[in-house]
Amino acid sequence: MKELISIVVPCFNEEEALTYFYEEINKIREQLKEVNFEYLFVDDGSKDKTLDKLRALNKKDKRVRYISFSRNFGKEAAMYAGLENAKGDYVAIMDADLQDPPSLLPEMYNYLKNEDYDVVATRRVTRKGEPVIRSFFARMFYKIINKMSKVEMVDGARDYRLMKRKVVNAIINLKEYNRYSKGLFSFVGFNTKWLEYENIKRVAGETKWSFWKLFLYALDGITAFSVVPLAISSIMGLLFCLIAFIMIIVIICKTLIWGDPVSGWPSLVCIIFLVSGVQLFCIGILSGYLSKTYLETKNRPIYIIKETELER
């Protein structure tokens, strides 16, 4: 029997891009005749006609499956739903906007089939067409998180990858609510082949990531894969105690030797501000972890399905 490749595609307001995507992926399917394909589109609570498009595609082509969420749960949830429901022996994750070139699929499949790899992942080597500030912060982020976390995060890594069934199962078994896939992918390990390509502009529609959303996502990544910020706050506390201790001794000596009169309330105010600022900062770090723990303990579902192709 032929093996099955599932293509998981998270879609959020992608009505324009979907047609192009479906055409492109069909071309690839024709090149890869030795395997069967299924396309699993995950509609992440789109507000446009994405779901209608998916229903129509499903009617026309039984290879097209879809899951529609009850609201927007985010790309991480969409990817998880896709991996959980994909039936393939191999599963690929791909964006709907064709920024992840489907033309790489045959090559990826060959690596898994003929060589000793379990995952073929992709990274883009350029950030062309992206705002300069965004690239700068992205680079900083990877530098920082790789210093802080034991799990390696690859700069420029995309979510685009083809995985064997055992890898998919390993990822599905990580049921955490705060999902940071880049980290989860490297957490599970396995033999990974990296393919590189240049950044490609999306075919239609707009990016859903504002700078602020990316910033919060970066913080998610840090809290999910490192506890170093907690250690930093302890060290900062110790450091401040040390400074205070030295200052106490200096002041006692000064008073005993020169009998200094009381003075210097401006410096005192500055110190109070500095120290209370540091305290609030550390409480902030702590609450970052606490809030993640809080959400995790609630055990809420990662996504809620409104409709799938099975109901039709």
* CB of 181 or CB of 223, closer to ligand UDP: 181
Q: 44 contacts which partner out of ligand UDP, Mg ion, none, CB within 5 to 8 A by kind?
A: ligand UDP
Q: How far is the CB of 279 from Mg ion (least distance, A)?
A: 41
Q: Are 35 and 7 in contact (CB under 8 A)?
A: no
φ, ψ of residue 38 to 5 degrees: the values are -135, 140
Please pick, from the candidates 6, 99, 226, 233, the single residue that binds ligand UDP as defined by CB under 6 A: 99
Q: Which of 165, 31, 170, 22 is nearest to 88 (CA)?
A: 165
Dihedral angle sign, alpha carbons of residues 267, 272, 275, 277: negative
Of 182, 164, 14, nearest in space to 99 by CA: 14
Stretch that binds Mg ion, among 75-83, 115-123, 196-204, 249-257 (CB under 5 A): 196-204
Asked if 207 is part of the footprint of ligand UDP (rule: CB under 6 A), the reply reads yes
Task: List the interface residues with ligand UDP, window 57-96 (CB under 6 A).
Answer: 72, 74-75, 78, 95-96
**Sequence letter at residue 280:** L
Cα separation, 9 vs 3, in Å, equals 19
Give the strand pairing for 157-164 and 3-11: unpaired
Select the binding partner of residue 221 from ligand UDP, Mg ion, none (C-beta < 5 to 8 A, by kind): none
Residue 26 contacts ligand UDP per CB under 6 A: no
Is position 309 an interface residue for ligand UDP (rule: CB under 6 A)?
Answer: no
Nearest CA to 146 out of 243, 236, 218 is that of: 218
Residues of this chain, 1-20, that bind ligand UDP according to CB under 6 A: 10-12, 14
Nearest residue (CB) to Mg ion, 204 versus 232: 204
Q: Residue 97, interface with Mg ion (CB under 5 A)?
A: yes
Toward ligand UDP, which CB reaches closer, 31 or 207? 207
Total chain residues near ligand UDP (CB under 6 A): 17
Residues in the chain: 312
Among residues 95 and 309, whose Cβ is nearest to Mg ion? 95
Sign of CA pseudo-dihedral 188, 174, 141, 285: negative
202 lies in the binding site for ligand UDP (CB under 6 A): yes
Pick the closer one to Mg ion by CB: 106 or 129: 129
Q: Is 209 in the site for ligand UDP (CB under 6 A)?
A: yes
Question: 228-243 in b/e burial notation, b at 16+ Cβ within 10 A?
Answer: ebeeebeeeeeebeee
**Which residue number, 13 or 58, has a Cβ lying nearer to ligand UDP?**
13
Separation CA 93–CA 164 (nearest Å): 12
Nearest approach, Cβ of residue 181 and Mg ion (Å): 15
Residues that bind Mg ion (CB under 5 A): 95, 97, 99, 202
Residues that bind ligand UDP (CB under 6 A): 10-12, 14, 44, 72, 74-75, 78, 95-97, 99, 202, 207-209
